[in-house]
Chain A
Amino acid sequence: MKTPQIKILKTYNAIIAGILTLMGFATSCEINNAKEYGTPSAKFIVNGTITAKDSNTPIKNIRVIMNRDSTTTDNDGKYQVSDRDGFPADQLFTIKFHDTDGPLNGEYENLDTVVQFKDPKFTNGDGHWYQGETTKDFNVTLNKKK
């Protein structure tokens, strides 16, 4: 099969993976990541600020989950999560923003979405299988619960 056809099919599959993630079936298409014996690794760090869509003010205490890492936003609505076992190449992570503290700090709709690392550059590798870390800013806005 020629390379352009492969690229089209890979794009097609990335779209399917995205839709499945939005349907709540994240990782179903992360076939290479889910392999049983692992591969070279890198750390993928996601930073960002969560704000309310209507008022543009930061929201604190929103639960942010990415793979096995989770945190809550600070008083400025800022968060950082990371994945230490990602494969050092283009990556697509499912990231979840959940309002778990009820009416405290306002009530917001949960958001499950994906964050993409395209052509990531890694720093501070160990010269062996660990190729270092890469960072991406990912700001989101949440809708108020109706």
Chain B
Amino acid sequence: MTVSKLSFRKKLALGLFRKYKQNESKIHQLTYIFWECTLKCNLRCIHCGSDCKKDSVIKDMPAEDFLKAIDQIKGFVNPNETMIVFTGGEALVRRDIEKVGVDLYKRGFPWGIVTNGMLLDERRLQSLLNSGLRAITVSLDGLEESHNWLRDHKNSFQNAIRAIKLLPQTEHLKYDVVTCVNRRNFTELDQIKELLIEIGVKEWRIFTIFPIGRAKENTELQLEPTEFKALFDFIKQTRQDKRIKLSYGCEGFLGNYEREVRDDFFFCTAGINVASILADGSISACPNLRDNFIQGNIYTHNFAELWQNNYKAFRDRSWTKTGICADCKSYNYCEGNGMHLRDEKSGEVLFCHLKRIEEGEKQRIPN
């Protein structure tokens, strides 16, 4: 199997799915809102795509400002079908998370958090659950040494594990563990898998580190092409084994690996189903889309009007057919990769998953 040689059946399905995506763009039903509730963080991760700093002096957005924006969209979304996810920085650094959670709960919105687990002990989890927490994602970026290296904190691994151990025991909580794969933890994937299975984790998600934020300066974080290809073989095999449900994250068209390493075909839903409210009030699509991708600000715009009338660059991606995408045979299936992988200023694609896997294939095959 080569990554770019698709079967007729898969081509047909991808062609149909393309139409599906076009329809979704026209409907653009808002179902997911990220709130970058703070830029403060208790770690200083090497790969962080956020602008957060340990000693950030930027004040957190008052909760009432965020809730005011949420109230603006109540008229045209079904709150029960619109998930709100607190991200950061480190969301749990904010002390009023529970209060905001209850306010969202009263409005009918399910909510969740993404956390590094440093502050998630039994007591805090119970407090979050009492406030309506519905879903949680905890990061685990390797075994002890490599996790602590990436997270730049000697206790980060043990705290993450403490947090993860709480999750399988908690009823009615949707959870998963995410791992950012890099050159250091790549060789540990089997051991991480066994560790998670032993803890009782059912769902595990893998991301690769993309070249934005702090990761832009540290190329060591990115897998070599052969490793990159091998990663998808690992995910595929793990899914076939069915001991833990492993999926690749939501980015990148993966050619023949489509549907082999995650449940769905690639579809970047930024600005189509997903919006974000950033720490300074900026309204974007995903939290890591900044600069030219910002659509407005909650302090100067009505969130609902903005969602209905803006986001044109997200809903018509034809502009992404430039640079290496211009003559790519898979463009119709991919449409320019995830929006977070386009340069925020020039719009050029920063990373192509398919090409990276192809490079890995070529390097593995001796001449």
Q: State the CA gap A16–B22 with chains docked (Å).
A: 12
Which of A27, A39, A87, A129 interacts with B264 by CB under 8 Å? Answer: A27
Interface of chain B residues 224 through 268 with chain A (CB within 8 A):
250, 259, 263-265, 267
Please measure, in the bound complex, the distance between the C-alpha atom of A20 and the C-alpha atom of B259, giving whole angstroms. 12
User: Residues 267-280 of chain B: 1 if any A CB is under 8 Å from the residue's CB, otherwise 0?
Assistant: 10100010000000
Stretch at the interface among A5-13, A44-52, A112-120: A5-13
Q: How large is the interface on B (under 10, 10 to 19, 20 to 34, 35 or more residues)?
A: 35 or more
On whether the beta carbons of A89 and B17 are closer than 8 Å, the reply is no
A31 within 8 A of B: yes
Using known A-B contacts A1-B27, A32-B31, A129-B172, determine if residue A27 contacts B83 with beta carbons closer than 8 Å.
no
Main secondary structure of the interface of A (DSSP, over half): loop
Residue of A with least CB distance to B17: A28
Residues of A101-116 whose CB lies within 8 A of B: none
Q: Is the CB of A37 within 8 A of B13?
A: no
In the bound complex, residues from chain A placing their C-beta under 8 Å from that of B16 are 16, 19-20
Within 8 A of B (CB), among A20-40: 20, 23-25, 27-32, 34-40
In the complex the two chains form, is A28's CB within 8 Å of B13's CB?
A: yes
Distance of A38 Cα from B81 Cα, bound (Å): 10
Are B83 and A39 touching (Cβ within 8 A)? yes
The residues of B that contact A20 with a CB separation of less than 8 Å are 13, 16-17, 20
> Which among A19, A32, A85 has the highest number of chain B CB atoms within 10 Å?
A32
Any chain B CB within 8 A of the CB of A93? Answer: no
Pairwise interchain contact A129-B134, C-beta atoms closer than 8 A: yes
CB distance from A7 to the nearest CB of B (A): 10
When distances are taken between beta carbons in the complex, the residues of chain A under 8 Å from B172 are 41, 126, 128-130
> How far, in angstroms, from A129 to B16 measured CA to CA in the complex?
34
Interface residues of B (CB under 8 A from A): 9, 12-13, 16-17, 19-20, 23-24, 26-27, 31-32, 80-81, 83, 85, 110, 112, 114, 132, 134-137, 172, 174, 176, 205, 250, 259, 263-265, 267, 269, 273
- 12 additional A-B pairs beyond A17-B20, A31-B31, beta carbons within 8 Å, are A5-B26, A6-B27, A16-B19, A23-B13, A25-B259, A27-B263, A28-B263, A29-B20, A37-B114, A38-B134, A40-B80, A129-B134
A1–B27 CA distance with the chains assembled, in angstroms:
7
In the complex, A126→B176 CA distance in Å? 23
Q: Which residues of A contact B114 (CB under 8 A)?
A: 37
Give complex CA distance A120, B207 in Å: 36
- Asked if A86 is an interface residue, CB under 8 A from chain B, the answer is no
**A window 75-106: CB within 8 A of B:** 85, 87-89
Chain A contacts for B110, CB-based, 8 A = 38-40, 129
Q: Report if A16-B264 is in contact (Cβ < 8 Å); known contacts: A37-B134, A38-B112.
A: no
- The residues of A with any CB-CB pair to B shorter than 8 Å are 1, 5-6, 9-10, 12-13, 16-17, 19-20, 23-25, 27-32, 34-41, 85, 87-89, 126, 128-130
Given the interface contacts A28-B13, A40-B134, does A9 sit within 8 Å of B81 by beta carbon? no
Q: B263–A31 contact, CB under 8 A?
A: no
Cβ contact within 8 Å between B26 and A39: no
> Which of A12, A24, A32, A85 is within 8 Å of B81, CB to CB?
A32
Q: Check if B81 sits within 8 Å of A89, measured CB to CB.
A: yes
A89 CA / B267 CA spacing, docked (Å): 23
Residues on A with beta carbons closer than 8 Å to the beta carbon of B174: 37-38, 85
CB < 8 Å: which of B137, B176, B205, B269 contacts A31? B269
User: What are some 22 contacts across the A-B interface (CB < 8 A)?
Assistant: A9-B27, A12-B19, A12-B23, A13-B23, A13-B27, A16-B17, A16-B19, A16-B23, A19-B16, A23-B13, A25-B13, A27-B263, A28-B259, A30-B263, A35-B31, A36-B135, A36-B250, A37-B136, A38-B110, A38-B174, A39-B83, A129-B134
User: How many angstroms from the CA of A36 to the CA of B177 in the assembled complex?
Assistant: 11
